[in-house]
Structures are given as C-alpha cells and as structure tokens.
Amino acid sequence: MTGPALEAPGLPLEASDRYLAASDLAHHLLMDFAIKILIVVVALVVLGLGMTVIWRRVGRPRKRQRKIDE
C-alpha cells in the first residue's frame, strides 16, 4: 500500500526549526525538573542527618548510670 498518506510530509525549513526549538525546550524543561528533584533529595538527606544528630544529642542519655554519693 503506497499512497500520499504513507509518505513523510515535506516540512518547510522554518517548520523544522520550530520542531528543533520545541525539542530543545522539552530537553531544557526535563533537565530543569531533574535538577530540582536532585536538590530536593539532597535537602532531605541533609535534613535527615541533621535531625539524627540533634536527636542523639538532645535525647535520652545512653544507659549511663548516675553515681550516687556514698
């Protein structure tokens, strides 16, 4: 089956430039999204580490026995 519907459309040069610009825009937006996700993940890791350090310093002492005056 050959016919005009199966042929690739002939795009003028200015239309292909628009598709290239749209492709560049999509790539830019995807990279921006990936960088934002990376920033959020790093911030969550730093937050978790900070909370762990604070929890250990402020929390209950580790099974230390107080010396009772004799």
pLDDT in tens, 1-48: 455 555 556 655 566 677 777 788 889 999 999 999 999 999 999 999
Entry pTM: 0.56
In this structure, the dihedral spanned by the alpha carbons of residues 50, 53, 57 and 60, taken in order and rounded to 10 degrees, is 110
pLDDT average, residue stretch 47-66:
82
What's the pLDDT score for residue 11? 55
What's the pLDDT score for residue 24? 86
Q: 10 phi and psi, to 5 degrees?
A: -85, 115
- Between the alpha carbon of residue 5 and those of residues 1, 2, 8, 11, 15, the distances in Å are 10, 8, 8, 15, 19
Residue that is written with structure tokens 């996700």 in the block? 37
